[in-house]
Amino acid sequence: MVCFVAKQTLNPPIEGNHVASTRIIEASLRAGINAKVVTVEPNTRNLETSWNAVVINSKTRLQENVSFSPSLSSYLRGLAHTSINDLLTSVSIASHIKSFKYDLIHVLNINKEIYLFAHSFLRVKKPLLLHFYHSPLVLTDDVFLIRNIAMRIGLYGRIFSNHALTVNLSLARFLVKKLGVDQEHVHYAPYPIDTETFKPFKDKAGTREKCGLPYDRPILAYVGSLHPARGIFNLMKSFRHVLTRFPKTLLLISQPQREGEDVYLRTLQLLIQNFKIGKNVVIRGPSSQVEEIFNLADIVVLPFVRPYWVDPPLVLLEAMSTGASVITTSVGSIGEITKNYENVVLTKPDNPVDLANKIIELLEDTQESRKIGESARKTIVQNYSYEKVGERLSKIYDFVFNQLN
């Protein structure tokens, strides 16, 4: 039996690592994998799930995104708070796992370094499959400081005989070629996408009406954090140029309103004011039905400047699954899944002029835009559906089990 270890999966916030973990579990269960879920939740009351799950109450309030704190002191306090919470909950998880007959522990979005310590300290004799959602290019970010050290000293696959699972090929190659991890201990499986939820809608006008948006104006959509790495400020500069050619265009921004992003929102609002484009920009909070946004938009614009912490971005795969015409950049592992002018249009990172030209180009050629969206949908269905990824995960589990026996 596989035991999934994760946090905030029963009512996941709109965050890449939580949503990805939930979908990995769902895809595995649909594939018929015999599994149990141990999930850490901030509030265990009134939680319902169809999973075979054990719910562990977080020892303190779960805190996310400590790196967004505006000062060093508050960052350190948040980091200490989160680390203590992670240690206490990891001990609880390891204690539970030790007393049950699991064949493999699949560690999803909890702190892997702290859990690895608790797992070893309590002498839990269960093999680990550690799931990483990022590319090697972000290991220098402050939030990955401990992981960077842990990877380079060999805690994943060299010193300990655990297995690593990556969602992109670049990290798999990095572990094998740069860090010398045994290739048989490194596995790859992409994120599973629910292609029945993220699918093309037939009634774009009706979807726009439901969301209170005009049916007769071009609409660009941006979905995700306002962190500068995601290119939102370049998009604003580009949008000003787009309006000179298509003055009625609307830009819809749906962002998760995470703690610590107020400074980015203020910068965004100042740009809108300085560019005098307030009548053409609609800023909304997180959407529980983001597939509607992808379907009502003429173009989804995701102009990443550099790889973000979940790579490839879930928002990109979701948008492609709906058949949206997407403009993005080939940073990180995005290049592993995209082909320029086939399933997306690629623009140069950190280049507002090139981005504006690509947006105008697709707004002028709606037939080409539609073909790109249709090809994007095929890419996701053929390679990233629950069924395809579930099959791949099942093969990985079988391979690990055979190695252990």
Residue 28 covered by a domain = yes
Residue 271 covered by a domain = yes
Q: Are the C-beta atoms of residues 128 and 119 closer than 8 Å to each other?
A: yes
Could you tell me the pLDDT band of residue 65, with boundaries at 50, 70 and 90?
Answer: very low
Residue 269 covered by a domain = yes
Could you tell me the pLDDT band of residue 46, with boundaries at 50, 70 and 90?
Answer: low
Please report, for the domain that includes residue 391, its CATH number: 3.40.50.2000
Residue 151 covered by a domain = yes
Residue 354 covered by a domain = yes
Across the chain, what does the average pLDDT equal? 90
Domain total in the chain: 2
Residue-number span of the structural domain to which 343 is assigned? 204-383
The two most distant CA atoms of the chain are separated, in Å, by: 66
Neighbouring-strand partners of residue 186: 164
What's the confidence (pLDDT) of residue 50? Answer: 77
38/131 same-domain check: yes
What's the confidence (pLDDT) of residue 74? Answer: 58
Could you tell me the pLDDT band of residue 285, with boundaries at 50, 70 and 90?
Answer: confident
| Mean pLDDT calculated for residue range 375-402 | 96
Q: How many CA atoms, within 13 angstroms, populate the side-chain half-sphere of residue 271?
A: 17
Query: Strand runs (DSSP E) across 67-166, as ranges?
Result: 104-107, 128-132, 163-166
Closest CA to 84 of 100, 101, 102, 61: 61
In angstroms, rounded to a whole number, what is the distance separating the alpha carbons of residues 326 and 309?
Answer: 20
pLDDT at 82 over 80: no
Residue with tokens 């980015």: 264
365/233 same-domain check: yes
Residue 322 vs residue 56, higher pLDDT: 322
Residue 199 covered by a domain = no
| Mean pLDDT calculated for residue range 203-223 | 96
Residue 197 covered by a domain = no
**Of the ranges 71-85, 92-106, 134-148, 221-235, which one carries the lowest mean pLDDT score?**
71-85
What's the confidence (pLDDT) of residue 158? Answer: 67
Residue 198 covered by a domain = no
pLDDT at 366 over 70: yes
183/53 same-domain check: yes
Residue 166 vs residue 101, higher pLDDT: 166
The type of residue at 273 is: Q
89/158 same-domain check: yes
Q: Return the exposure string of 273-308: e unless at least 16 CB atoms fall within 10 Å of the residue's CB, then b.
A: eeeebeebbbbeeebeebbbbbbbbbbbbbbbbbbb
Could you tell me the pLDDT band of residue 352, with boundaries at 50, 70 and 90?
Answer: very high
Cβ contacts of 86 within 8 Å, gap of 6 or more: 110, 111, 114, 115
pLDDT at 67 over 50: no
- Kindly report, residue by residue over 104-152, the tens digit of the pLDDT: 999 999 999 999 999 999 999 889 999 999 999 999 988 898 899 999 8
146/224 same-domain check: no
374/323 same-domain check: yes
In angstroms, rounded to a whole number, what is the distance separating the alpha carbons of residues 53 and 299?
Answer: 39
In angstroms, rounded to a whole number, what is the distance separating the alpha carbons of residues 110 and 369?
Answer: 39
33/65 same-domain check: yes
- In terms of average pLDDT, the best of 41-45, 86-90, 216-220 is 216-220
pLDDT at 263 over 50: yes
58/159 same-domain check: yes
Could you tell me the pLDDT band of residue 73, with boundaries at 50, 70 and 90?
Answer: low
Q: Are the C-beta atoms of residues 307 and 331 closer than 8 Å to each other?
A: yes
- Radius of gyration over every alpha carbon of the chain, rounded to an integer in angstroms: 22
What's the confidence (pLDDT) of residue 76? Answer: 55
Could you tell me the pLDDT band of residue 63, with boundaries at 50, 70 and 90?
Answer: very low
What's the confidence (pLDDT) of residue 80? Answer: 65
What's the confidence (pLDDT) of residue 170? Answer: 96
- Kindly report, residue by residue over 299-347, the tens digit of the pLDDT: 999 999 999 889 999 999 999 999 999 999 999 999 999 999 999 999 9
What's the confidence (pLDDT) of residue 156? Answer: 80
72/170 same-domain check: yes
361/271 same-domain check: yes
What's the confidence (pLDDT) of residue 47? Answer: 66
Cα pseudo-dihedral 200, 26, 286, 253, rounded to 10: -40
187/223 same-domain check: no
6/108 same-domain check: yes
